[in-house]
Amino acid sequence: MFKLPLFETLEGFMKDARDRSGLRPPGWPIFLLGVLIFFNGYLFFKAQVEQALSFMLFLAPVWLAALVLSTAWGLWMIMIRSYYIAAQNYILLEIRPPRSLMKTPLAMEAVLAGLHHYPGESDWHRLYVRGRVRPWWSLEIVSLEGQVHFYIWTRANFRKVVEAAFYSQYPGVQIVEAQDYTRTIAADPGNGWMAWGCDYKHTRIEDAYPIKTYIDYGLDKPQKEPEQTDPMANLVEFAASVGKGEYLWIQYIFRVHLWGEKYGSKKNKEGKPYTWRDQAKEIIMKIRSETREDYTDPTTGEKRPGFPNPTKHQTETMAAIERNVSKLAFDVGARALYINRPEKFDPITITAMIGLFKAFSSEGWNGIKATRWLLEYADFPWEFGNVRRKERRAKHLVEAYRRRQYFHEPFAFSDYMVMSTEELATLFHVPSGAVGSPALPRIQSATGEAPVNLPT
């Protein structure tokens, strides 16, 4: 969409003022300030202002046409994509793990590889005329009054693909269609409910840096259950800690990552779309350059580059980055939502939600931190009307969660994370028997189809 000059700078200034001091300047004072500056300029520099206005009027057929066409094109894309998205049928499938499950998160990585499909955007007609978008999924960990459930939300016509991917790697699980839990309660902030939530993003701008994955925890190799250290167990136990009348919803909305899409028109050295693999090369080259120290030749006095001498951390970082970008990639948007009655609302839960992904974060590599939505409100005493603004923002958050929207209007964000199948499988996988929370319901025994040669 078209933006005015210095708009992003002004937007950033207003955001800093809001976060650091609680000052939330509305838009109309800035507009009035601009009008005042214009009239003062006209009063003291009449000739120059008239000349500038005449020049703008002369070029109006150019800039006005560009502005109108840019805005119209953006609205057209939003409209046709909205029609296409609304025309699809969606279902929610519950994943019920068996009581005894010995699979590692590597199995979930294979499941995600089976969902690495992107039909619908193969040519310009489908993209710009029919408004087709590639499918996205939502993996969800949900606590309904302390009972933890695992779900996957998908288009109805992808149900067979989803079931085949899970059954091929987890033969003992049950995949059943479930009622959409987000619609079973009103969850209307301000009308008998309170809601707090946020999205999550990488702590580093560079997506090529990996988070702490199951391989770093040693879960890529079979272990005895008492010896397993699954970082997702922390998240499951936290979800199980909510009490009666409390609801905690966590979702990972993901779609196939298309090369160069997140980085706009940026090109690599070869003139091709810039990807996170190009980003990885730049990071590795920077680390390698830091491992070499110039030395002076004692015989000639010339400065010469030294031999690479990386530390253990630098070597491990380069290896982790190369392993990360060598795998299939997804665009991932993470979101969490806590809903409760006002009289039972627990502020400590908010603190835990902000640090929800500490077990997956690393100081030297990458991490996941909270951002957006209700996190933007610091509750300074002088912030008048904050309650009403927070209720309005919370309603939008609940609606965004229910729609499972992160990549398209009206809830589209550009700071989504690019993650490999390894990273996403670490954040969400069918828990093995090592995750022994009593709040996680498991089926008593594995189920399967009857033998094909059974006599009848």
Average pLDDT of the chain, as a whole number: 84
Q: Which of 13-22, 80-89, 100-109, 322-331 has the lowest mean pLDDT?
A: 13-22
Q: Please, which pLDDT band fits residue 27 given cuts at 50, 70 and 90?
A: low
Flag whether pLDDT at 411 surpasses 60. yes
Task: Kindly list the distances between the CA atom of residue 325 and the CA atoms of 270, 339, 361, 403, 419, in Å, as whole numbers in the listed order.
Answer: 19, 37, 18, 30, 9
Q: Please, which pLDDT band fits residue 144 given cuts at 50, 70 and 90?
A: very high
The pLDDT tens digits of the residues spanning 181-195 come to 999 998 888 888 999
Task: Kindly list the distances between the CA atom of residue 241 and the CA atoms of 99, 269, 347, in Å, as whole numbers in the listed order.
Answer: 21, 51, 14
Q: 3-state class of 21 per DSSP?
A: helix
For residues 395 and 48, give the distance between their C-alpha atoms in angstroms, rounded to a whole number: 49
Got the DSSP string for 383-411?
Answer: -TTHHHHHHHHHHHHHHHHHHT-SEETTE
Q: Please, which pLDDT band fits residue 380 given cuts at 50, 70 and 90?
A: low
Flag whether pLDDT at 174 surpasses 80. yes
348 or 449, higher pLDDT: 348
Number of H helices, E strands in the chain: 13, 13
The residue-averaged pLDDT of 217-226 equals 71
Q: For 291-385, where are the alpha helices, taking DSSP H only? A: 312-325, 347-354
Six-digit token string for 162? 């989803």
pTM here? 0.84
Flag whether pLDDT at 447 surpasses 70. no
The residue-averaged pLDDT of 121-142 equals 89
Flag whether pLDDT at 13 surpasses 70. no
Please state at what angle helix 159-169 crosses helix 105-114, rounded to 10 degrees: 150
* Torsion angles phi and psi, residue 233, rounded to 5: -60, -35
The residue-averaged pLDDT of 275-284 equals 90
The residue-averaged pLDDT of 322-334 equals 94
380 or 83, higher pLDDT: 83
Flag whether pLDDT at 36 surpasses 60. yes
Domains and CATH numbers, the chain: 7-58 (no CATH), 91-263+323-427 (3.40.462), 276-317 (no CATH)
